[in-house]
Amino acid sequence: MKQLILLFSTCILLFSCEKNINFDLKGADALLVVDAQIENGQAPTVALSKSLDYFGAISPQILASSFVHNAEVTMSNGTVTHTLKEYSVSLGNGYSLYYYGIDSANLATAFTGEFGKQYNLTIKAEGQTYTSKTTIPLLTKVFDSIWTKTPPPPTDTSKRALWARATDPPGLGNYVRYYTKKNSERFLPGLNSVFNDEVIDGTTYSAQVDQGIDRNQPLPTGDDKFFSRGDTIYFKLSNIDKSTYTFWNTWEFNQQSIGNPFSQPGKVLGNITNGALGAFCGYASKTGIVIAR
């Protein structure tokens, strides 16, 4: 009887301690978002936009209006400094994508990416100045061959998996990002696209390469994870510096954690000053081609 009274009293105490907690979810100020890159043999590109409220609505109109226009964007390769020009690319239905690239009317100071060089980026937009730097490393970690194999059952026998053999140079601190391309489609990074050499330092190894994914589409879960027989497959392996690796590593971790209530909270670590989001990334790339047999 005493146990029953104690249990009843405890329940009353717990219910009397209940309290409603209301969160005031205020919108955050919009921040500059930078997506800048330079690759060996390629001209630099910079896309500027404003961050959107996490709890706000998203529509094509809102996304289109988030681009930042009329910014002063300059990039230096240590020898010359070039002022980039804003361009637009039509996406159809009245929408356009905007980016800053080489000014075709001022080619005297234009340049493309080179191995082993550092690049400095300066952005002046809406009364604020932002800076960043990146490096195109030397092409030290490379692959020597790529091929395709039939995946194990129960996969459709017309499907093919991509394999590559690569050599990691001795000494820690080699970082890479990879992409694949199928036929005339565009290059896409893998779901987990960046790797360091903590485990494979100084070794030659073979590994299956997952097909790159379009993150605007549902993730492949079955046979669509593989290539098809007859596909022309392009594999690009890019050497990157530590800040580029850190940005994409934290970005992919957070992107994959969306909707998972048990995931750890994380922060995407960019390399732009003055509180801006995003990163300026350099890529030292090599591309191989194979036809799936």
CA 209 to CA 164: how far, in whole Å? 7
Q: Where are the domains of the chain?
A: 32-136, 142-241+285-291
* pLDDT reported for residue 260: 66
Cα end-to-end distance, the chain, whole Å: 78
Instruction: Report pLDDT digits (tens) over 262-280.
Output: 666 679 999 999 999 999 9
Q: Output 17 or 124, whichever has higher pLDDT.
A: 124
Residue 271, both tokens: 């390399």
Class for the domain spanning 142-241+285-291: mainly beta
| Percent composition of the chain: helix, strand, coil (DSSP 3-state, to 5) | 15, 40, 45
Q: Percentage of the chain surpassing pLDDT 70?
A: 88
CATH domain 32-136 topology: Immunoglobulin-like (2.60.40)
* pLDDT reported for residue 261: 60
Instruction: Report pLDDT digits (tens) over 185-217.
Output: 999 999 999 999 999 999 999 999 999 999 989
Instruction: Report pLDDT digits (tens) over 122-181.
Output: 999 999 999 999 999 999 999 999 999 999 999 999 999 999 999 999 999 999 999 999
CA 133 to CA 142: how far, in whole Å? 24
Is residue 192 within 8 Å of residue 209, measured between CB atoms? no
Domains 32-136 and 142-241+285-291 share a fold: yes
